[in-house]
Structure 1
Amino acid sequence: MSDVSDSSDRSDIDEASDVSDGSDSSDDEPKQPNSDPQIGAGCAPADIPFETILTDVSCHPTRDAVAIGTVDGDAFVHSYALDGPSRELLHLTHHRSSCRKLRFSADGSILFTGSKDQSLCMVDLNSGALAQRLPEAHSASIYSLCVVDEHLLASGDDDGCVKVWDRRTNAAVMECRESDDFISDLAAGDNHRVLLATSGDGTLTAFNLRQRALQLQSEPLEDEFLSLALLKHGRKVLVGAGDGSVNLFSWGRWDNMDDRLPLGRSQAVDSLAAITEDLYCLGTADGRVRVASVLPNKCLGVLGSHGHFPVESLSVSRDGHLVASCSHDQRVKFWDVSSVENLRPPSEDFFAGLEAGPD
């Protein structure tokens, strides 16, 4: 995810359209077909248009609604429906600059927002009021958020710092800087005992939340790590990279990449979202929203696109039937994924169904 003013840091919009010809700089890796098959479109809600560039989208966990962040600093909550237009439920203006990340609490009663202005905010969705504002939550602009559990919230910033906050005291209970570049994404696993962070310095870092300290970090790669998702009941960690690949790690073996899925083109994998335990969506800098599988690691097809604009964010709906996406084309799009399970190829995982996930 990148603000327009910061786009030169990772991806340039014009460059994205120039390199979307299917070329790949790597000659040593197996390439996916240059033309991914189109996945049949089902019934999905209409697009939600805006008059500004969008930075993030997050689906509500219990309602047909999405939260949207904008480069202007505003945050919106909109309803959506298959049989009618969306409706604006809430418009928030508490940030002074780009609202980079939004996340709902597990019960959907609170919306957390993180901004380029370094502030972290909590909005009570029952009243629509700002419940808490930490104006200098970080010393650098906030880049990523993760709701760990009912009490803990994690945030990452442009300078590689990760903080974990206790919502009961609104105080940071962990602060670590183990990366040399922005914290692009965060995810919690192992029954909320481990926090994973990807960084622009090409590292995957695991933090032990009980010890509130670094657990292990991968060796840095040349390309930025931009996005993160957990599949296979938490046994597989997927990391989207700036070179247009998805890197696969096994849980607990953070320093040893198991496999990678090259897309056959130099397109950054800006966003990832798990659809099932075997299938996931990925959004890339060429504007396409794709579906891929784990074991076998294969790109199955394209759901659609945002033109040549990078897909900044993906989020799965409460029932798992839709994926919402946003880009610089100033609109939220919805994709029907209710039937993608039928695309899943036979598993190549010998231990499928036998090996338990992290305990």
Structure 2
Amino acid sequence: MDVPLSSDALDLSFHPQESQNLLATALISGKIQLINYDKLDQHPPSDNEAKDEEGGEEEDGDDGQQPLKKSKPSPRRGEKLYTKLWNTRPSQKSCRGVHFDLQGSSLYSIHKDRSLFQIDTETGKVKSHWRNAHEVAPSRVLPLTENLLATGDDDGVVKLWDPRRPTKNSSQAVGGGIDPSASALRSYTHHFDWITSMMYCSHLEPPKEIKKDKEKQRADQVKREKKLRRKKRLLQRRKGQLDSEEEEEEEEEGGRGSPSIATGRSRLVVTSGDGSLSTIDIRAGGKNAAEVSEDQEDELLSVASIKGGKKLVVGTQMGMLSLWAPSRGLLDHVDRIPGHPNSVDCIVTLDQDTILTASSDGLVRVVQILPHKLLGVVADNDGLPVERMARKSRWLASLGHGNRVKFTDLKDLLEEGDEEEDGEEEEDGEEEDIEKAQDRGIGSEEDDDEGDQDDDEGSVGKGSQASEDEDDDSDSEGERQRAEADKKRQAKAKWKIETSKSSGKVTKEGTLDFFSDL
């Protein structure tokens, strides 16, 4: 389903609370629109209904169309599945970024006139305004904690903000608004080109060398504490102040050991157009707070974490996906995944092993990491480059170069693992054959059907016709069930996508053509 907007959109953000079906969009006109999609969550539209809302024509008298299920009430024809709650325009310049805070009560926005706004989610009114928050136009905004905010600009400067911090009166500030010198907590200038993406990792795995050093320091500290306890007990024993029972209790407490060492660390991961990735310790200041990687000789456009923060996936301008391992340090990537024909502008984590990538060719792909494999295509933005992409639960919202937001339902994709586990006990052998065939570039529905027919004909020629008829009668029901399961798996491996409205065709994405170089 597409939601039309009043002008071209540059950014979007989902409300963090699961009970709130709200989406905020930043428009090039400077407006911010809040959209409620409750009706969409209640009864998702079918493909034909989505075409009707987009303005497409529906053929009359299509007898082959299946009726809608009666389990969920279907919307009336022409009924909108979304509601625009409010529009606000805090600045006359374009809104380049928008993001909800962690509670969802406020909305932060950045604009081309270098300003930063805090907007009330319920009313759409401005709560705080920072004029000239950056020396150039900001490009990214990201809330880190309940009272900490990060922004990045086109010159590569990253700033941290605390909305609670006392600020000067707006009448005393130059040009009105809040004086940024009294508001910005810290500023980092280790990048020299525009900030493309930011991601906050509360538990980023430390490098192995640092982890070993911390363990050694902790062991030395435990030894020193034991020596001090022994000296203290000797002095108390000489003075007769320590009983035997108390001594035993202290020995037991000392033998229990110290609390375990925290293996995680909180870091702000930043990618830049200068070709480098950096991690910032928001609790530290100065030059030692940031660790910068080597030059990757390509613009780094997007970043996402998988494997519980043990791996980072970065999208580049040339279409490569670079894999980073925090345990080995973030000075350079550890692996590169080719295959995207165009730049990877956005990455969203689907689960611990799978990501969604949005490219400038307008396609949203499902890519599995370790082992690397393209699982299919879930959305097409009519060939327009995807500017932003966000996911909340089963819904994926993406923005192309246009004045509309595209909603994609990921319900079937999220349930794929459960259905495969249910059929593993009965069809382990057949699944392996299908996966091998797909890895060789084979496995379309037509080829599988023809292969089954050829096998049946060959078996008839070799064996007895009477015995084969008896086997077919006894196993016909099981074969039909296996055939239906095969079609479901093949359909999920090759997602059907809708191309541009003018063509109106339906295409299928190959399984291995995308990663033919691997």
TM-score, normalization by structure 2 = 0.55
Aligned to 1:153: 149
Structure 2 counterparts to residues 267-278 of structure 1, below 5 A = 267-278=342-353
Displacement of 1:225 after TM fit?
Answer: 0.7
Distance 1:212 1:235 in 2: 25
Structure 2 counterparts to residues 175-214 of structure 1, below 5 A = 175-191=187-203, 193-213=266-286, 214=289
Aligned to 1:248: 323
Partner SS for 2:129: strand
Partner SS for 2:334: strand
Aligned to 1:309: 384
The number of residue pairs the alignment matches comes to 298
Distance 1:307 1:208 in 2: 41
Higher relative contact order (CA 8 A, sep 6+): 1
Partner SS for 2:411: coil
**Structure 2 counterpart of 1:86, which letter?**
Y
Partner SS for 2:308: coil
Aligned to 1:67: 24
1:48 aligns with 2:48: no
Contact 1:300–1:343 (Cα < 8 Å) also in 2: no
Aligned to 1:259: 335
Contact 1:226–1:270 (Cα < 8 Å) also in 2: yes
Q: Which has the higher strand share?
A: 1
Displacement of 1:203 after TM fit?
Answer: 0.7
Displacement of 1:343 after TM fit?
Answer: 5.5
Q: Which has the higher helix share?
A: 2
**Structure 2 counterpart of 1:275, which letter?**
L
Deviations 1:9-45 (A, max 9, x none): xxxxxxxxxxxxxxxxxxxxxxxxxxxxxxxxxxxxx
Distance 2:360 2:340 in 1: 13
Aligned-pair RMSD on alpha carbons?
1.9
Distance 2:25 2:98 in 1: 7
Displacement of 1:212 after TM fit?
Answer: 2.9
Distance 1:128 1:97 in 2: 18
Displacement of 1:264 after TM fit?
Answer: 4.2
Among residues 258, 283, 291, which one is paired with 1:216 in the alignment?
Answer: 291
Distance 1:141 1:247 in 2: 28
Structure 2 counterparts to residues 17-96 of structure 1, below 5 A = 46-62=1-17, 63-80=20-37, 81-82=39-40, 83=43, 84-96=80-92
**Structure 1 counterpart of 2:335, which letter?**
D
**Structure 2 counterpart of 1:269, which letter?**
V
Aligned to 1:279: 354
Query: Unmatched 5+ residue regions in structure 2?
Result: 44-79, 168-182, 204-264, 422-518
Aligned to 2:374: 299
Distance 1:329 1:135 in 2: 29
Displacement of 1:342 after TM fit?
Answer: 5.4
Q: Which structure has the larger Rg over C-alpha atoms?
A: 2
Partner SS for 1:122: strand
Displacement of 1:304 after TM fit?
Answer: 1.6
Contact 1:197–1:204 (Cα < 8 Å) also in 2: yes
Query: Unmatched 5+ residue regions in structure 1?
Result: 1-45, 347-359
Displacement of 1:272 after TM fit?
Answer: 1.2
**Structure 2 counterpart of 1:113, which letter?**
S
Deviations 1:85-142 (A, max 9, x none): 2111121101222211111111111111111211111101133210011011111111
1:173 aligns with 2:185: yes
Deviations 1:222-249 (A, max 9, x none): 2111112122211211211101122111
| Aligned residues with identical type, % of pairs | 32
**Structure 2 counterpart of 1:291, which letter?**
V
